[in-house]
Structure 1
């Protein structure tokens, strides 16, 4: 029992220490919060939205104390008390330095501390020389005070020495039960996708999202995503002059051949992003007949692009390409690196300047690939995800299925101010393919369930357009239907082929 109480006291300490570090950041940079017109309610919300990621970070830190307490549950070894406290002191000092570095960094970079900042530590004299001396010493004092306060409070109020082993049944219970709770805490719960920075994103004011994101967790992700290429660019294939010349040739337009197809210069825009749709689902693109009849009917009313290729093979890569024009690359996804994507242009940012009201809808949770963080940074006025839909709607394992999210979008757009930009990301054509209808297609081999899920999504698409045609905004709306990426099909194309990555639009 003492081991459990000891671990819980350590957990409470870390949550409070993280909150204290966050409060110091807010106080130091309070003028930035005022510039962003942050309200008191929004400021306090930071601490609420920070809790899940703080809890996950604390659980990672507590793995070592858990192992020490496990030994102490069976054997009395006084030296382990010292080891446990020393470990925590080191973690406190490390986190204090991360916080101090981030406080100093934010004023210049407007981002959290990341792997790029650590690279400058290779030349500490440059770091000192490039900083204002007064600011530098203030940050050192803040770091030392934070570390000292953490060590003192931990020693004085939280850690209690264990002098004798627990009762056998208590020791066994501690060893069997505690790992389960640590595991749930560090991955953020039972959900299919482990926790990441998206869990802390809740506002269009990026400073609030960054403040809510745990410093250590964010730095770890930055290191993990970039560790292999800290000192080299793996994508350097041309010298700069050749690359510039080639790019200019590709972008040169000898004659403007643009076709004007719209009846208004400021149309509403509805973008339907189809999860994992391969070109093999579309008969006119070479696929088998009968999989997507609703899409086939829409082809007669619009323009079909017959040579579309996906950029990457994951949804987070597709979102960055669709909304930011950022191509996928082999090592990471730009959505996983908030310190980078905040500097990128975005489609929604551009539309907002033109007076558009924007929304993004998805039946699942956008935490995957930090898509939510990227979407909010893009400037969407309203983001609706799985937990925002009524519980009465039919849910699958991943979230609310397509027919219901599309119905919900129709209802939302009835009250949306024009011009609007509404994006909806479908879900049902993603495994585990538990769409709420019986399978219609009895062929497809290893991808039979996939093509049946696409059939369901296509049926939902047809129902959506039937409802949309009854709306007063329909005639002044541009509809864009595009896949986020492709998927293996019943033809089992090799991954490296064009056929595998072909998608409909």
Structure 2
């Protein structure tokens, strides 16, 4: 492989290592282009630019990787070259680093399979929650075969180095002062260039998202995400005066039944209802993992994997045109509990100082509700227990000894082994978590307490395993089976709940946390934010299909209106059924912030960039259109005010 290169001298192993890494990175990049053959831009210019930009970032990446070894080679005196300790250190760290990088290349393939992206902030999160991630890998992939393959390839590459006499040259050649100086200066200059002037988003040169992602280096992207997990709005995004932003948003949230409490930078208001009711219906809220709208026959799917949900759409308040705010579970939780647009960077669920916020539970609690959060895995994952416990929910999870922080005034109850019939890497199956909720609801009813029970499901997640014999698709065979099992578990929940004395007075809200996939060739794949939502078990004459374009943040304000409640609100969401509701959806990634109104889509990006598109729903494409300042100002205002309120602790 390296015979054409006549390397000599002390740095032979390093040079072989660098060229090996660059060659593997190019092959991986070509592999990704082949993988996305139907989506990636394959013009000669775009292919060359994808490969050359990728090569540039690969050079920066491998320079950082080999910098410690270069320092070692430069500083080690000639008299110690080839000594036992020198041979041990060079061999050990070369083999170890090669093994890690081969494993990383494999990891990039599995990450791309799941997210159609190079490493990003999700990979950073996965590094933190190792138990769930390692278990998921073990259950999703043939781990012995994977590790064996990594070891075999590592041995093969080391053998190539050895046969090309890289180690012999490294251990027998002295190095001059000028050579040491030249190599050290070159390496430090490259490192300085990337640290001071190069940002990962500079790889995002193409309007085709796949070309931009493939241009990146996975390892470089990982550390860039690690550094930029939290982003201050005014530093990264186009902004306007706070006075103008709040004036605009207060106008958007204005309603005949909304009375603002102050005139300053606030959206706090009292929502009144002329037929105010003191009725306290129980609420069971179910946030379903990865339930894309495209899975339902209601939206054109022909696989018949959601028969129960399709039937439910005909006898509920069904949101036909609703969009998730983000691409991760914590974004769905943030949107549903805070009714807030997705602020840039990490979700509020995972940020510091996120206790005692004004959430939907702040509406339920004063009315005497017993509020609980149910999760089939360890609620430590993604900071869920801290967030929900710190905002007034009692916790039921599979935490196995994890405890809530001392400052959280809530209880945490472990789901016992005897309550579990099936469990995988992410938690107990949906039937088990629903059964747990039913048992707690019985206790709440017996105690005479109205309840608000928030349930997070896990079964519709890789490795897609669930109890056997429940549906006609074998467990662990793919997403379709997991979706159909979740649909089955929801049916069983209602079968059991209808026999409960509290059922007639209980409303069920079912909604997805996000879609199963959000990646596409455009910078935002609009169709992959479309999710179903249901409000079930209100009087039959209220059942309807809502075609208005809306967001996750609007569901609870709509529910509270249906209850005819008067309440205090810091919510950005509105009652969709109100005649003055203006159709729009607020969606985004951790870096892209989007306002969509009908077919018009405005995207705010970091580096204070913005783009305006017309969305073609038929082929899910975005066509650039001339900028509209009023639309841009509105987009800015939604996100700037949301970030301002949280950052300045005005959502407390």
TM-score, normalised to structure 1, is 0.51
Q: How does 1:317-356 map to 2 (within 5 A)?
A: 317-339=331-353, 341-342=354-355, 344-356=357-369
Q: How does 1:240-251 map to 2 (within 5 A)?
A: 240-251=242-253
Between the two proteins, the alignment pairs up a number of residues equal to: 304
More helix by share: 1
In angstroms, what is the RMSD of aligned CA positions? 4.4
2:416 to 376, 390, 393: 390
Given the alignment of the two structures, is residue 309 of structure 1 paired with residue 338 of structure 2, yes or no? no
- Structure 1's unaligned 5+ residue stretches are 1-66, 72-164, 177-185, 195-220
1:192 to 130, 133, 140: 133
Given the alignment of the two structures, is residue 379 of structure 1 paired with residue 410 of structure 2, yes or no? no
Question: Could you tell me whether the CA contact under 8 Å between 1:281 and 1:287 is conserved in 2?
Answer: yes
Given the alignment of the two structures, is residue 413 of structure 1 paired with residue 441 of structure 2, yes or no? yes
- Give CA deviations for 1:407-451 in whole Å, capped at 9, x if unaligned: 221122111142011111110001111122367469xxxx98212
Tell me, what secondary structure is at the counterpart of 1:361?
A: strand
- Residue 505 of structure 2: aligned partner: 476
- Residue 283 of structure 1: aligned partner: 297
Question: Could you tell me whether the CA contact under 8 Å between 1:282 and 1:291 is conserved in 2?
Answer: yes
1:488 offset after TM fit, Å? Answer: 2.4
Question: Could you tell me whether the CA contact under 8 Å between 1:276 and 1:484 is conserved in 2?
Answer: yes
More strand by share: 2
- Give CA deviations for 1:27-70 in whole Å, capped at 9, x if unaligned: xxxxxxxxxxxxxxxxxxxxxxxxxxxxxxxxxxxxxxxx9xxx
1:287 offset after TM fit, Å? Answer: 3.2
Question: Could you tell me whether the CA contact under 8 Å between 1:347 and 1:378 is conserved in 2?
Answer: no
- Residue 422 of structure 1: aligned partner: 453
Tell me, what secondary structure is at the counterpart of 1:344?
A: coil
Given the alignment of the two structures, is residue 359 of structure 1 paired with residue 367 of structure 2, yes or no? no
Q: Distance in 1 between matches of 2:330 and 2:362?
A: 18
1:480 offset after TM fit, Å? Answer: 0.5
1:273 offset after TM fit, Å? Answer: 0.8
CA separation of 1:383 and 1:190: change in aligned 2, threshold 3 A: closer
Q: Distance in 2 between matches of 1:191 and 1:293?
A: 31
Question: Could you tell me whether the CA contact under 8 Å between 2:321 and 2:530 is conserved in 1?
Answer: yes
1:281 offset after TM fit, Å? Answer: 1.5
CA separation of 1:460 and 1:262: change in aligned 2, threshold 3 A: farther
Question: Could you tell me whether the CA contact under 8 Å between 2:374 and 2:433 is conserved in 1?
Answer: yes
1:277 offset after TM fit, Å? Answer: 0.7
Question: Could you tell me whether the CA contact under 8 Å between 1:276 and 1:429 is conserved in 2?
Answer: yes
1:276 offset after TM fit, Å? Answer: 0.9
- Give CA deviations for 1:440-488 in whole Å, capped at 9, x if unaligned: 469xxxx982122111000000000000000000000111001111122
CA separation of 1:265 and 1:192: change in aligned 2, threshold 3 A: same
- Residue 381 of structure 2: aligned partner: 368
2:284 to 222, 246, 270: 270
CA separation of 1:377 and 1:255: change in aligned 2, threshold 3 A: closer
Given the alignment of the two structures, is residue 237 of structure 1 paired with residue 263 of structure 2, yes or no? no
Q: Distance in 1 between matches of 2:489 and 2:397?
A: 19
Question: Could you tell me whether the CA contact under 8 Å between 1:386 and 1:399 is conserved in 2?
Answer: no
Q: Distance in 1 between matches of 2:228 and 2:473?
A: 43
TM-score, normalised to structure 2, is 0.40
- Structure 2's unaligned 5+ residue stretches are 1-67, 73-84, 97-126, 136-224, 259-271, 401-413, 534-652
Q: Distance in 2 between matches of 1:188 and 1:312?
A: 20
1:246 offset after TM fit, Å? Answer: 2.4
Question: Could you tell me whether the CA contact under 8 Å between 1:338 and 1:374 is conserved in 2?
Answer: no
Q: Distance in 2 between matches of 1:287 and 1:253?
A: 38
